[in-house]
Amino acid sequence: MNEEPLTQLTDYWTQAVELVRTAGMDFAINLVTAILIFYIGKAIVGILVRAFRKLLEKNDVDPTLTSFVSNLVRMTLLVFVIIAAITQLGVPSAQFVAVVGAAGLAVGLALQGSLANFAAGVLIVLFRPYKVGDYVEAAGVSGTIEQVQILTTILKTPDNKQIIVPNGQIMDSIITNYSANDRRRVDLVVGVSYDDDLDKVRKTLEELIAADDRILDDPAVTIAVSELGDSSVNFIVRPWVKSADYWGVHFDLTEAIKKRFDQEGISFPFPQQDVHLYQATAN
């Protein structure tokens, strides 16, 4: 019996098994190496971004720009780390970049909203409608700006809730920045009875204004009768304060007016109606 074909077949099988084993071992090594490259690269990126952020903060760069640029640098470096990890698996970087470029159009169409948010983030950094620390109202929400990221802006509400708003929605809406100027006007309306002495009311309000050191002398305070209402004579009280003192003065002055008016016998009227009953006479 001729055993030569059987021997050749055995040799081919042995070579095939060895080739598969070697290829599998190589792939396993490349896979582990790629994973290590990704995680180690990610950690290095974190260290570099933190150092970059501290450098910007040390040079007094605007916090809004610092946050945006740091996030942009992080994303860019992570892309390079991912390319390096995929290249380790045996995929040529040139081919990988070509595939990514070819898929760019489809990805761009699928992520139109994200691209619009990125463009809006760039506009926010360039035109500065607000900065980190400002209290703003935009896109139907209000709060203090904490971060301006690549795609979103993070706000913190006065009751300590975090709101994440896409940059595109903010740029498409009306933005009210309450912190843009260093002074704000407190608008109060104080109603008194028609029986009260208006000169006394005005003098009392002037004394309360003068007693609060947080109220600015310039611009001058406005105290005037604004309306003869159905049941009250309404005074407007409009002092100017530093933006940081706005709510403190608003609340304190409102309370002080109530207490002082009680002492002075000045009344706060409330809506009321006179009801007249008529008894019909039977025919």
Residue 99 lies in a domain: yes
Residue 83 lies in a domain: yes
* Selection from 98, 246, 123 nearest residue 184 by Cα: 246
Q: Which domain holds residue 146?
A: 129-177
172 and 197 together in one domain: no
Q: How many Cβ atoms from other residues are within 10 Å of residue 202's Cβ? A: 15
Residue 121 lies in a domain: no
What pLDDT score does 25 carry? 65
pLDDT in tens, the chain (283 residues): 455 555 655 665 566 555 555 655 666 777 778 888 888 888 888 898 888 888 887 877 777 777 778 888 888 888 888 878 877 777 665 655 665 565 554 555 455 677 888 889 888 888 889 998 999 999 999 999 998 888 899 999 999 999 999 999 999 999 999 999 999 999 999 999 999 999 999 999 999 999 999 999 999 999 999 999 888 999 999 999 999 999 999 999 999 999 999 999 999 887 666 676 777 666 5
Q: State the pTM of this model.
A: 0.61
What pLDDT score does 178 carry? 92
CATH number at residue 164: 2.30.30.60
What pLDDT score does 127 carry? 87
Grouping H, G, I as helix, E, B as strand and the rest as coil, residue 184 is strand
222 and 203 together in one domain: yes
Residue 274 lies in a domain: no
Which amino acid appears at position 213 of this protein? Answer: D
What pLDDT score does 103 carry? 54
Residue 229 lies in a domain: yes
152 and 189 together in one domain: no
What's the structural domain count of the chain? Answer: 3
Q: Mention every residue, 6+ apart, whose C-beta is less than 8 A from residue 263.
A: none
157 and 213 together in one domain: no
CATH number at residue 48: 1.10.287.1260
169 and 209 together in one domain: no
133 and 93 together in one domain: no
59 and 150 together in one domain: no
Q: Mention every residue, 6+ apart, whose C-beta is less than 8 A from residue 242.
A: 182, 183, 184, 214, 216
* Selection from 238, 269, 244, 233 nearest residue 181 by Cα: 244
